Amino acid sequence: MTSRTTPLGQAIRYALATTAALAALPAFAQDGSGATPTNLDRIEITGSRIRQVDVETAQPVFAITRTAIEQQGFSSVADILQNVTAMGSPAISRANALTAGENAGGSYIDMRNLGTQRTLVLINGKRLGISTSGYQDISTIPVSAVERIEVLKDGASAIYGSDAMSGVVNIITRSNVTGVTANVYHGQFSQGDGARDRFDVVAGWSNDRISLTVAAEHAEEKAVWAKDRGFSAYGLTDRHADNLTNWTTLSQYGQFTGLKGRPGCTNAKDGCNYSLNRGTDPTNPANYHITDPSAFTGDVSNANDQMHLNFPLKRDSVYFDGRFKITDNVNFRTELGYNKRKAVRQIAGYPLQSSTAGVGSMSIDSYFNPFGRQHGYATPTAVAWNRRTWEVPRVTTSELKTYRAVASFDGSFEIGSRFFDWEAGYQYNRNELETIATGNLHKARVAGGVGPSFYNAATGKVQCGTAAAPISYDVCKPWNPLVPYGTIDPNGIDGNAALQEWLFPPEVTTGKTTSKNFFANIAGSIVTLPAGDLGFAFGVESRKETGEYRPDPLAQTGATTNLAAGPTGGGYKVNEAYLEINVPVLADLPGAKELTFNGATRFSDYNTFGNTLNSKFGFKWKPFDQLLVRGTWAEGFRAPTINDLYGGGSQTFAQFSDPCDVQFGSSRTSAEVRARCARDIANAATFRQLRQGNQPVATSVDATPVPFVSGSNPNLTPETSTSKTLGLVWSPGFIKNFNASLDWWKIRIDNTIVADSPTQILIDCYEQGIDARCQRFTRDKSTGPTAGIVDTLQFGSRNAGFMETEGYDLDLNYRLETNVGKFNAGWATTYVSKSEFRSTNDSTVVPTVSNGIGSNFRVRSNLVVGWELGNFGVSWTARYYSGVKEQCVDIRSYPDECSDPNVYAPWYKGARNYNERGSVTFHDVQFRYSLPWDATVSVGANNVFEKTGPIMYTKPNSAFSYYGGYDIGRFVYMKYQQRF
């Protein structure tokens, strides 16, 4: 995006009528750029390619200025944008350490809760680089390099192409800076954790022909552990720390499973589970007791003890902007960016179950099998076992390097009395990813370790094989998984270190995506009409996207307990041309101070699926100077991503809900669902969904005990959308410096590339009766305790169904100057009146309602007030989230935690018992003072009252019983800025 930059031009931008809460604080302050006022500039506002002096556009644009950014306590672009009311839930929140794949560790924006891939992110009007899944990681953008952020809350595929369906975020970087500014930021939660530090320097030099700006930043965010917050300390929060359903029977102390014929075991059919009496000889059969999951005997564990709530993150960034005036009418501009992001995520040790992990039972000839041949057991047998490998938590370290370069020529020329602006250039983006995962077990080595072994008296160690045919330690290392965590196996080899290195090999995954884009644009006016100049913009682009994601060979072959994944690789090319016109129809007439129509269309030719044409129409009408009426109608599209088309299948332990569960599922109340479940499950009348450890679930949503498989589809076609807006902007003459805007919006997306889910597949099969969806999974046919569980399930991308959302944005702003200081107030509210989707094209299927459910808030609202007097300033922000509904936790165990027992939930067919979760408001405050030596010091706190949001057992956008977008404590910070 190119424009001349002067203080007057900036002031016009900041006076956008839709600028609201987060931009409500003083927006006209100088930034030390050293620029001097010149003439009134024609500028380009996000959502239009036509430069003009009048910045009141037909589409709603929200601006966050540099001043507003500095007067917040957020230290990243992601946190700043996530608090805009139009934003939906974070696609991959910091509270979801269980997230895997190439996008884990990044930060992403989702407008209107329509999905991250449907929100387009630009830097200076050019696309931010993407992953193979089409995700744009905004954590790669340093805050220090940002001049302002413009958020277009409207579809704009006609202007920008694919992905601009729910809106556009345009991040404008700093330029024309003179001098040096250094910033130091430090903050942490009042619990003493989660420290965040940022150091940045912005330096610039310019004269009449050259402007050079450099921004360098180092940022680091420390970890917050789940065990240090009540809502995440246990699976069902610390409210139920003493309830065994809140713990997992897959403990760090291990157990034999399904052992029959032992004294005290009354389950002759399935056998019993046995745990070792800690501190005793594990080879003695008498030292084992029947596992008791109903008592704290050491046979259970709390996996949350080892998990990150917020994982640590480091960023190092350098950004350069250079502008060179070659002639009076020709300029050259270059942008260079580099960012390195490192994220480390930890989750609990692997819950290894020999019956499902493919490692086999402990051999009847294993020295460690107390019920085997070598210890005189009456009826020797091979024994199944499980063990959570507590001593080696699963840690994933992701390092992403991002390179960005833009080189362009631009300028202006005059034909007759008409001016034309032009630009031509090339853009290059590259993302390089390396992920190192540890903590997963090598299946073949585990199988060998629990296979035949013997005690070698000559070496004093246990060895694989038999005395007659020993196996070298270089080939096999014996392992006793029943040795309690924290002890050293006296019969092992070289203590635990060598064994751990053997059993837990690191896995290295790499990825790379590259974007190349040639572009050329021209804009100007064609003719002068009675109401003004007829403006136009025309441009062409040729963009090529390539990418690959290569899991470690061990993961590709399924050799470890890590989720198996195939390689992704491919690319596509698109050639595009667009045309935009701006037609003034009436001006300076009674009842029509202005009437202007705007139209745009874009032709896109993809080598994957063919052509698409998308258009947009808008109008703005001023019946009188103080009132603007505006509206738009726009078509949009989203092209399938590389991963959608060419992704390798991957396994995941998905969180899902089984309708056939008789306690939480819809089979409890729906005869139709019960009948369909009985078709697949012999014990449908008593069937319970199982979680890890093969224990019945305690909530309506939990992780599957076996991995499911996700995949791609090369036959996908683009999504299509239609968006509409209609709004009013009012600046009454009788209230000075007051602006109000109200916009209605509606977005419908058809032919959706469904990010399918196990829950939706099962709902479509059993609740909606769609037979084709039932073919996507199978159920276990055994007669054991796992009979009836979903054994295999494949889900991935497909074109089907629709998404539709509708609502209103209200923005109010007021500025008052008095003898006791300057006062500012801004109030931004987003109200969602409708949100629903259907994952099938079958029109007889009732759409699923999501509005006000889980993390789909009906109302988000921000109120900002500020006061400045001389060198002193203070700002206060209130961030409001409305209440939501969710499925109740087990009402028989926790009847006091279900607000509406026996009430049918309208969003979940046949299900009853749901919870009303209350609203929550987080308050932020900042105090700042300008020091005499050209410095500013700021202190503040986010969530100053240390408010905690409501417990949410459905775990929206989180691995814990808490919404992943809520504040997790009071965050206190200090900033110091020094200008030179």
Evaluate if residue 354 carries a pLDDT over 70.
Answer: yes
The region that residue 685 occupies, defined by phi over 0 for left and psi between -120 and 50 for alpha, beta otherwise, is: alpha
Would you state the pLDDT for residue 844? 80
Q: What is the DSSP letter of 205?
A: E
Would you state the pLDDT for residue 8? 28
**C-beta separation of 560 from 554 below 8 A:** yes
Kindly list the distances between the CA atom of residue 323 and the CA atoms of 175, 205, 213, 943, in Å, as whole numbers in the listed order. Answer: 8, 11, 9, 41
pLDDT digits (tens, 9 = 90+) for 222-260: 999 999 999 999 988 998 888 777 788 788 888 898 888
Would you state the pLDDT for residue 1? 36
Q: Which long-range contacts (CB under 8 A, 24 or more apart) does 266-273 make?
A: 270/784, 270/785, 273/249
Beta-carbon contacts of 125 under 8 Å, excluding residues fewer than 6 positions away, are 1, 2, 44, 46, 170
Evaluate if residue 22 carries a pLDDT over 90.
Answer: no
Please report which confidence band the pLDDT of residue 493 belongs to, taking 50, 70 and 90 as the band edges: very low
What is the percentage of the chain residues whose pLDDT exceeds 90?
Answer: 56
pLDDT digits (tens, 9 = 90+) for 592-618: 999 999 999 999 999 999 999 999 999
| Biggest CA pair distance of the chain | 107
Evaluate if residue 644 carries a pLDDT over 90.
Answer: no
687-718 b/e with 16+ CB inside 10 Å = b? Answer: bbbbbbbbbbbbbbbbbbbbbbbbebbeebbb
Least Cα distance to 570 among 477, 640, 467, 654 occurs for 640
Would you state the pLDDT for residue 724? 97
DSSP 837-904: EESSS-TTSPPEE-TTBTT--SEEEEEEEEEEETTEEEEEEEEEE--EEEE-S-TTT-GGG-SEEEEE
Amino acid symbol at 151: V
DSSP-H helix ranges across 542-670: 553-556, 642-646
pLDDT digits (tens, 9 = 90+) for 883-904: 999 888 877 777 788 888 888 8
pLDDT digits (tens, 9 = 90+) for 66-77: 888 888 888 888
Please report which confidence band the pLDDT of residue 53 belongs to, taking 50, 70 and 90 as the band edges: low
Please report which confidence band the pLDDT of residue 12 belongs to, taking 50, 70 and 90 as the band edges: very low
Least Cα distance to 375 among 437, 454, 451 occurs for 454
Would you state the pLDDT for residue 677? 92
Evaluate if residue 716 carries a pLDDT over 90.
Answer: no
pLDDT digits (tens, 9 = 90+) for 434-459: 999 999 999 999 999 999 999 998 88
Which parts of 590-737 are beta strand (E)? 592-606, 610-624, 627-638, 650-652, 655-656, 690-691, 695-696, 702-703, 708-711, 719-730
Please report which confidence band the pLDDT of residue 785 belongs to, taking 50, 70 and 90 as the band edges: low
**C-beta separation of 164 from 954 below 8 A:** no
**C-beta separation of 673 from 910 below 8 A:** yes
Least Cα distance to 259 among 272, 275, 276, 277 occurs for 272
pTM of the full predicted structure?
Answer: 0.85
Would you state the pLDDT for residue 555? 87
Give the CA angle between residues 736, 739, 744 to the nearest 5°. 160
Number of Cβ within a 10 Å radius of residue 902: 9
Element (H, E) at 834: strand 821-838
Evaluate if residue 40 carries a pLDDT over 50.
Answer: no
Q: Give the C-alpha separation, 237 to 248, whole Å.
A: 14
Amino acid symbol at 182: A
Q: Which residue has the tokens 């700043």?
A: 80
Kindly list the distances between the CA atom of residue 229 and the CA atoms of 191, 244, 815, 894, in Å, as whole numbers in the listed order. Answer: 9, 19, 40, 21
Would you state the pLDDT for residue 906? 72
Helix H, strand E, coil C: the string for 226-294 is HHHCCCCCCCCCHHHCCCHHHCECCCCCCEEEEECCCCCCCCCCCCEEEEECCCCCCCCHHHEEECCCC
Would you state the pLDDT for residue 250? 83
Would you state the pLDDT for residue 550? 93
Evaluate if residue 23 carries a pLDDT over 60.
Answer: no
Least Cα distance to 403 among 144, 142, 129, 133 occurs for 129
Would you state the pLDDT for residue 897? 84
List phi, psi (to 5°) of 259: -85, 125
Evaluate if residue 916 carries a pLDDT over 80.
Answer: yes
Please report which confidence band the pLDDT of residue 27 belongs to, taking 50, 70 and 90 as the band edges: very low
Least confident of 79-93, 790-804, 812-826, 938-952: 790-804
Q: What is the DSSP letter of 52?
A: B
- Which two three-digit tokens encode residue 860? 């988000």
Please report which confidence band the pLDDT of residue 33 belongs to, taking 50, 70 and 90 as the band edges: very low
pLDDT digits (tens, 9 = 90+) for 253-281: 888 988 888 888 888 888 898 888 877 88
Please report which confidence band the pLDDT of residue 485 belongs to, taking 50, 70 and 90 as the band edges: low
Would you state the pLDDT for residue 498? 82
Evaluate if residue 64 carries a pLDDT over 70.
Answer: yes
Q: What is the mean pLDDT of the chain?
A: 87
Q: What's the mean pLDDT in 555-572?
A: 88
For the chain, how far is it from start to end, CA to CA, in angstroms?
29
pLDDT digits (tens, 9 = 90+) for 501-516: 899 999 999 999 999 9
Q: Which residues pair with 739 in a beta bridge?
A: 813
List phi, psi (to 5°) of 448: -70, -40
Would you state the pLDDT for residue 794? 56
Would you state the pLDDT for residue 9? 32
Q: What's the mean pLDDT in 686-694?
A: 81
Evaluate if residue 292 carries a pLDDT over 90.
Answer: no
Evaluate if residue 966 carries a pLDDT over 80.
Answer: yes
Would you state the pLDDT for residue 398? 93
Evaluate if residue 937 carries a pLDDT over 70.
Answer: yes
Least Cα distance to 761 among 710, 825, 826, 810 occurs for 710
Q: Which residues pair with 143 in a beta bridge?
A: none
Would you state the pLDDT for residue 490? 47
pLDDT digits (tens, 9 = 90+) for 132-170: 989 999 988 889 899 999 999 999 999 999 999 999 999
Q: Give the C-alpha separation, 680 to 650, whole Å.
A: 26
Element (H, E) at 309: strand 308-310
Number of alpha carbons in the 13 Å side-chain half-sphere of residue 418: 13
Would you state the pLDDT for residue 186? 97
Q: Which residues pair with 308 in a beta bridge?
A: 225
pLDDT digits (tens, 9 = 90+) for 828-851: 999 999 999 987 887 887 888 889
Would you state the pLDDT for residue 41? 53
